[in-house]
């Protein structure tokens, strides 16, 4: 019963957050719909805060956008670090289960019947279940859903707050695209991707290389036609992402790896699937050929004996 309650609560919360994460609606003139939920709850208050800083402290709109982005990022930082920490712990524990998982996968590949396939899949699920891990890593998308409405609101705040389009920041017109800020944003997200690969095995780096290029390319593509005020938000976000990734991947990860290694030393993973040590997969592939050759030799000997008898 509790599981059903948790599932319903999680599903309802995820649905609400997914709804809130939608982009701000625009009218026929390209202006934001001020009656939307995201606009009223997030965009409008952030825009007022930026205007307050400019009017009362004689700040430029550029510095106000930077400060607002930094404040929001700092508020969300504990959630991002917590999510990264859980992901790294799960990843290290799953590495300890890799031999058993590979053994189950080999059984699945060599299965010839539906029953053997189901048994191999059940063994693979049991490996994770017996060791208290999920096959998906145990990390849900809820933390990401919580951040999406806030990042969406920051984007629209930087784009539609009155005064930003008509201001400049160190000679950069915030109402028009800036190739300088576009380049800085691309470099920031490229650097963030590089930092995320520090200490990762080469096998995982190969699978990550595509995303390391795609993410900065998307930022550059979106920034080329966007006002510099929006690109400035992406620049600050990219720099802050570098800082967060450095904290989690360079400072925290070695300590977490040592912590997980000590935990696994005291409580080794439960052995569910035993890898076959007597016959390797390569040897198994050669076995049918060897059996066929032996059969031919045996048949040749028998035919020779029959001829001699004649």
| Closest by CA position to 95, among listed 140, 133, 139 | 133
Structure tokens at 53: 């800083």
How many alpha carbons fall within 13 Å on the CB side of residue 50?
31
Average pLDDT of the chain is 76
pLDDT of residue 23: 57
| Closest by CA position to 268, among listed 276, 260, 277 | 260
Q: Give the burial class of 307: count Cβ atoms within 10 A of its Cβ; 0-12 exposed, 13-18 middle, 19 or more buried.
A: exposed
Q: Please determine, for residue 96, whether its predicted confidence score (pLDDT) is greater than 70.
A: yes
Contacts of 34 (CB under 8 A, 6+ apart): 40, 44
Structure tokens at 60: 């430029």
Tell me the mean pLDDT in the region 182-196.
Answer: 92
Q: Tokens 């930092």 sit at which residue? A: 195
Structure tokens at 126: 């049991």
pLDDT of residue 140: 52
Q: Mind listing the pLDDT tens digit for each residue in 6-30?
A: 444 444 444 444 444 445 666 666 6
| Closest by CA position to 120, among listed 102, 134, 94 | 102
Q: Please determine, for residue 297, whether its predicted confidence score (pLDDT) is greater than 90.
A: no
Tell me the mean pLDDT in the region 241-250.
Answer: 91
Q: Give the burial class of 142: count Cβ atoms within 10 A of its Cβ; 0-12 exposed, 13-18 middle, 19 or more buried.
A: middle
Q: Please determine, for residue 285, whether its predicted confidence score (pLDDT) is greater than 80.
A: no
The more confidently predicted of residues 188 and 104 is: 188
| Model confidence pTM above 0.95 | no
pLDDT-based confidence at 67, cuts 50/70/90?
A: very high
Say how far residue 169 (Cα) sits from the centre of its chain. Answer: 34
Residue-wise burial string across 1-15, b where 16 or more C-beta atoms lie within 10 A, e elsewhere: eeeeeeeeeeeeeee
Facing residues of 293 across strands? none
Q: Please determine, for residue 263, whether its predicted confidence score (pLDDT) is greater than 80.
A: yes
Task: Give the chain's end-to-end CA distance (angstroms, integer).
Answer: 81
Q: Please determine, for residue 87, whether its predicted confidence score (pLDDT) is greater than 90.
A: no
Q: Give the burial class of 267: count Cβ atoms within 10 A of its Cβ; 0-12 exposed, 13-18 middle, 19 or more buried.
A: exposed
Lowest mean pLDDT among 11-20, 223-232, 237-246: 11-20
Tell me the mean pLDDT in the region 244-248.
Answer: 91
Alpha helices, H only, 170-252: 179-196, 202-224, 228-246
Lowest mean pLDDT among 17-31, 85-99, 140-154: 17-31
Q: Please determine, for residue 179, whether its predicted confidence score (pLDDT) is greater than 90.
A: yes
Lowest mean pLDDT among 73-82, 134-143, 229-238: 134-143
Domain ranges of the chain: 32-266
Lowest mean pLDDT among 150-164, 247-261, 295-309: 295-309
Q: How far apart are CA 89 and CA 93, in angstroms?
A: 6
Q: Please determine, for residue 309, whether its predicted confidence score (pLDDT) is greater than 70.
A: no
Angle at 75 between CA 32 and CA 68, to 5 degrees: 45
pLDDT of residue 228: 92
Q: How far apart are CA 6 and CA 12, in angstroms?
A: 10
SS3 state of residue 176: coil
Structure tokens at 21: 């994460």
Structure tokens at 71: 């404040």
Q: Please determine, for residue 279, whether its predicted confidence score (pLDDT) is greater than 80.
A: no
Q: Please determine, for residue 307, whether its predicted confidence score (pLDDT) is greater than 70.
A: no
The more confidently predicted of residues 7 and 146 is: 146
């Amino acid at each position: 019963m509790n599981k059903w309650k948790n599932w319903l609560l999680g599903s309802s919360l995820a649905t609400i957050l997914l709804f809130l994460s939608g982009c701000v609606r625009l009218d026929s003139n390209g202006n934001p719909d001020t009656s939307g939920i995201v606009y009223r709850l997030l965009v409008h208050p952030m825009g007022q805060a930026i205007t307050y800083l400019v009017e009362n402290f004689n700040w430029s709109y550029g510095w106000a956008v930077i400060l607002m982005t930094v404040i929001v990022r700092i508020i969300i930082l504990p959630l991002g670090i917590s999510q990264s920490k859980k992901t790294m712990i799960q990843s290290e524990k799953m590495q300890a289960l890799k031999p058993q998982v590979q053994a189950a996968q080999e059984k699945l590949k060599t299965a010839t019947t539906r029953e053997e396939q189901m048994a191999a899949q059940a063994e693979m699920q049991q490996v994770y279940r017996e060791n208290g891990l999920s096959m998906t890593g145990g990390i849900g998308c809820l933390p990401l859903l919580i951040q999406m409405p806030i990042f969406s609101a920051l984007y629209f705040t930087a784009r539609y707050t009155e005064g930003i389009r008509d201001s400049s920041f160190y000679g950069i017109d915030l109402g028009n695209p800036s190739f300088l800020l576009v380049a800085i944003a691309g470099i920031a997200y490229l650097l963030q991707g590089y930092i995320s690969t520090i200490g990762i095995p080469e096998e995982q780096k190969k699978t990550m290389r595509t995303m390391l290029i795609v993410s900065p390319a998307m930022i550059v593509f979106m920034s080329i036609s966007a006002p510099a005020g929006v690109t400035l938000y992406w620049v600050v976000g990219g720099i802050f992402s570098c800082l967060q990734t450095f904290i989690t991947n360079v400072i925290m990860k070695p300590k977490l790896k040592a912590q997980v290694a000590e935990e696994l030393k005291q409580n080794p993973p439960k052995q569910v699937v035993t890898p076959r040590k007597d016959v390797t997969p390569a040897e198994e592939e050669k076995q049918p050929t060897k059996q066929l050759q032996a059969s031919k030799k045996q048949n040749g000997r028998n035919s020779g004996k029959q001829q001699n008898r004649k």
